[in-house]
Amino acid sequence: MLYAITADIHANFQAWNAVLTDIRSIRADKILVLGDLVGYGPDPVRVLQSVHANADHMVMGNHDAALAGKLSLDCFNDHASSIITWTRSHVGSSAIRFLSSLPLTLDGGSFRCVHGDFVEPAAFNYVIDPADAAPSWQAVDTPMLFVGHTHKPAIFVIGNSGTTHELPPQDFVIEEGKRFLVSVGSVGNPRDRDIRATYCLFDTEAGTVCWRRIPFDIDAYEAALVAAQLPSEGSAFLRYDPRQAIPPLREQLSFAPIEGPARAGAGMVQVETIDSLRTSLGRWKRTSMAAVASGLLLLGAGFVVSRQSTRDPLVLNDYLSADIAALPAGSDRSLLPVPSAGVAANQPIPGYSVVLADRNVQSVAYDPVTGFMISSSDSAQPVELSSPAVRVRNGMRFKVQGSFRKSSSFQGTVTLVVSLVVTNEDGTETVRDQFFVKEPVENTRDSWAYVRKTLSLPSRTSRLTCRVRGLFAGQVTIRDLSLFRIR
C-alpha cells in the first residue's frame, strides 16, 4: 500500500492543489492528512471541499480543534487566533461539525499518525528535537510514527542504543530493530528554508519513506491573502529569503501546547482505526454534498463543485528507446527526440508521453519551428510532457535546457524536471522523481524564459528522464528542449 502522508495545509489551496496533482500522478493508493486543514491561509472553503473529496483519512490539528470550539484561542498568538475567528465566519456549520468529528490519532496497524505527539495528542505538543520525540516511543509501540504540527520535515530514529537521533529529511528504507518518527513537514505553510510544499510517500510493502517537494503558485496565494484582507504574519514563508537568516523554529510557533494531563481532550475522539474512519468519512461526504447541492439550488452560490469527477483525461504515449552509450562526450546532438513533422492537437507526439487532466479544455501540439504548444482554456489544469528514459552510466555529466514562452493570459506554474532511477546495492531500484526542478527564468530582453543546468548524477544512476510539468491556465510554448552529454 502506497500512502501519501500530508499535513498542515492551512487553507493554502494553491499548495494543496499542486500536491494533490503530484499525488494523483504518482497513483498513491491512499491520502492521509495529519491535521490543520485551516488557519493562516485565505481559502478554507476550497481546501475543505477538495480535501474531503480526495483525502481518505484525517486527524484533528490544533487549528481544526480551535475552529470546532474544542480548544481555547488563548493558546494561539494574536495573528493565528484572528485568522481562526475570520475562518469561522467563512465556513459553514457542516464543515465545523466535520472537523469536530476528526480523531486525534490514526492507527494503520504497522504505523500510527497524529498531529502533535503520541504522549498527549489533545495537548498538541511539538516534536522539534530528539528530546521532544523520545516520549512517544514509550507512549506507543508501533515501529513507524508520523506527525505534523511543526511545519519542518525531520526524521527521528531510535535503535538498540536507546538514544533518539535526528536525521535530515531523506529517502530511507526501514531497518529491522529500529523505530522511526517522521515529521512530514507542511503542505501550505513551510517553516524551513525550502518554500515548496512538502509531504511523504510511505510504501508499506517496500518499507520505504520518500520525500516530495512540490512548487506551487506563490503569487496566487499572496494575491488571495490580500483579497481576503488577512495579515501576512502567519504566512512567514512569503518573506523567506536565502540571503537572510531564518528565525529559530520555536520563535515561529504560534501555539502553546496544553500543560497537564488530558485537559484539552474532553469531547475529542482519542483513536479511530482507518477502516472505521473511512466509513464515517463516506457518510459525512454524502451528507455534506447533499447540503451543498441544496444550497446551490436555493441560493445560486456556495461551494464550487469539484471538476475532478467530470474531467476527461488524455494520455498519449509514443516512446522511443534511447541509448547514449555510443555518443561521445561533447556531442552537439541532443539526446532527446526531435519530431521531424508537425503534430496536430492531442495526437501522439513521436518519442514523448503526454498526460492531460482534461482533454475538453486542454490541448498539446507540436510544430517543427515553434516547438511544443500546451494550452488550457479553463482554470489551472495539470499537464506533464515526458521524454523517453535515457540509459546512463557512472561518471557521466549532462546539460539540460529549455526555452519557455507564456501567453499574456497565463496563470499558474510550469517547471522543467529531471527524474532519475538509481539501482541500489541489492539490485532494487529507487526513483528520484524530482532530482532537479526548475521554473524558467524570464529574460527581460525578449519574451522567452529559460532553464539551463549542468547535472552531475549520483552513483548507480541507471536512467534519466526529462519532464515538463505544469499546473496552469493559458498557453506555454516550449522550444529547444534538449539534453546533452558533456565532458
At 186-222, the pLDDT tens digits run 999 999 878 899 999 999 999 999 999 998 988 899 8
pTM confidence score: 0.55
Residues whose CB is less than 8 angstroms from the CB of residue 62 and which lie 6 or more positions away in sequence, other chains included: 35, 36, 71, 75, 76, 115, 116, 124, 149, 255
State the pLDDT at residue 438: 87
Question: CB–CB of 85/51 below 8 Å?
Answer: no
> Checking phi first, is residue 47 left (phi over 0); if not, alpha (psi -120 to 50) or beta?
alpha
Report how far residue 337's alpha carbon sits from residue 320's, in angstroms, rounded to the nearest whole number.
8
Residue whose entry in the numeric block shows the C-alpha cell 497565463: 410
Interacting residues of 121 by C-beta distance below 8 A, sequence separation 6+: 104, 105, 114, 115, 265, 270
The reported pLDDT for the residue numbered 300 is 38
What pLDDT shows up at residue 487?
Answer: 66
pLDDT at 133: 96
User: pLDDT, tens digit, for every residue of 459-468?
Assistant: 888 889 999 9
* 3-class secondary-structure state, position 291: helix
Distance CA 160, CA 324 (A): 46
DSSP labels, 312-376: --EEEE-B--EE-TTSPTT-SS-SS---SS-B-TTSPPTB-EEEES-TTTEEEEEETTTEEEEEE
Amino acid making up residue 463: R
Pick the CATH number of 310-486 from 2.60.120.260, 3.50.50.60, 2.60.200.20, 2.40.10.340: 2.60.120.260
Instruction: Please identify every stretch of the chain with a pLDDT value under 70, giving residue numbers as ranges.
Output: 241-252, 260-266, 274-310, 318-331, 443-445, 487
Q: Domain 2-299 adopts which CATH fold?
A: Purple Acid Phosphatase; chain A, domain 2 (3.60.21)
pLDDT, position 288: 44
| Antiparallel, parallel or unpaired: β 390-391 and 461-486 | antiparallel
pLDDT value, residue 326? 36
Domain ranges of the chain: 2-299, 310-486
| Model pLDDT, residue 290 | 46
CB neighbours of 156 closer than 8 A, spacing ≥ 6?
127, 130, 133, 164, 165, 166, 167, 180, 181, 182, 183
DSSP 38: S
